[in-house]
Amino acid sequence: MWRAGLISALLLVAGTATAETKPDTPIKVLIVTGGCCHNYPKQREILETGLKARLNVTVSHLYYDPKPGEQATRPKLPIFDNPNYGDGYDVIIHNECAADESDPQIIDTVLSPHQKGIPYTGIQSSGHGPQSPITLTIAPEAHAITQGLNGWTTSKDELYNNLTTFNVTPLIYGIQPESSVTADRDKTFTVAWIHSYGPKNVRVFSTTLAHNEANMREDAYLDLVANGVAWASGRLN
């Protein structure tokens, strides 16, 4: 995903400056997908179906499939030239990959809605471990997003490491005890967290879990994302 300290290898849920939404109205969700390295058509379908099964939401999509011969790590995502792409939505879910995009103008355009009140969590992550099951532990501090969730073990997934977070609240930690890299088997990393951003304290939920469809289909994962959407929109406190 984004480099240069923007978004790197995560699904990000950002609420707007106008949250909280009215409890009897659907949460207006925009899912942004596309780019390199993952089956985004299938993933956007899984996310939409999972959210609609758990929440009162309407879901719209901004999607881009790199064309043959195009550099997939620099996809021409529809948000790249539209600074107003977030207008009218309560929550934006970012699940795109543009790992080699470094054009400052494009980055500013992507950040524009967040600068106006739909924020992002600044992170830095330079890599991930091998495909291996991740054992997940819920942070001991109580939070509405993880209430009712128990720790679980994923099927094979990528555990992102070298992560630097800035004033965030960790929600879930992950470890790969069966990693093919022996030295990493006892290393624990934050894999889900929240952040309040800006003078209006808009809400952001992020996770680095589920880079394949098997993990994304897991009920525990979809429960986590749905809770993140509800929390970001002010429906869950």
User: Tell me: the pLDDT tens digits for 119-159?
Assistant: 443 344 556 777 899 999 999 998 999 999 999 999 998 88
Tens of pLDDT, residue by residue over 23-62, are 789 999 999 888 777 788 899 999 999 999 999 999 999 8
Q: How far apart are CA 50 and CA 44, in angstroms?
A: 10
What are 135's strand-pairing partners? 153, 175
State the DSSP string of the chain. Answer: ---TTS--S-EEEEE-TTPPPPTTS-EEEEEEEEESSS-HHHHHHHHHHHHHHHS-EEEEEEEE-PPTTS-TTS---TTTT-TTTTTT-SEEEEEEE-TT---HHHHHHHHHHHHTT-----EE--EE--SEEEEEEE-SS--TTTTT----EEEEE--EES-EESS-EEEEEEE-TT-SSGGGTT--EEEEEEEEETTTTEEEEEE----SHHHHT-HHHHHHHHHHHHHHTTS--
Please give the pLDDT value at position 9.
47
**Residue 65 in this model has a pLDDT that exceeds 60:** yes
Of all helices (H) and strands (E), which one includes residue 206? strand 202-207
Instruction: Kindly report the average pLDDT of the chain as a whole number.
Output: 80
pLDDT band at 166 (very low <50, low <70, confident <90, very high): low
Name the maximum alpha-carbon separation found in the chain.
51
Tens of pLDDT, residue by residue over 169-200, are 999 999 998 887 776 788 898 999 998 766 66
More confident: 157 or 105: 157
**Residue 19 in this model has a pLDDT that exceeds 70:** no
Q: What is the DSSP letter of 25?
A: S
What pTM, to 2 d.p., does this model score? 0.85
Of all helices (H) and strands (E), which one includes residue 108? helix 104-115
Among 98, 182, 191, 89, residue whose Cα is nearest residue 136: 191
Tens of pLDDT, residue by residue over 111-130, are 666 566 654 433 445 567 77
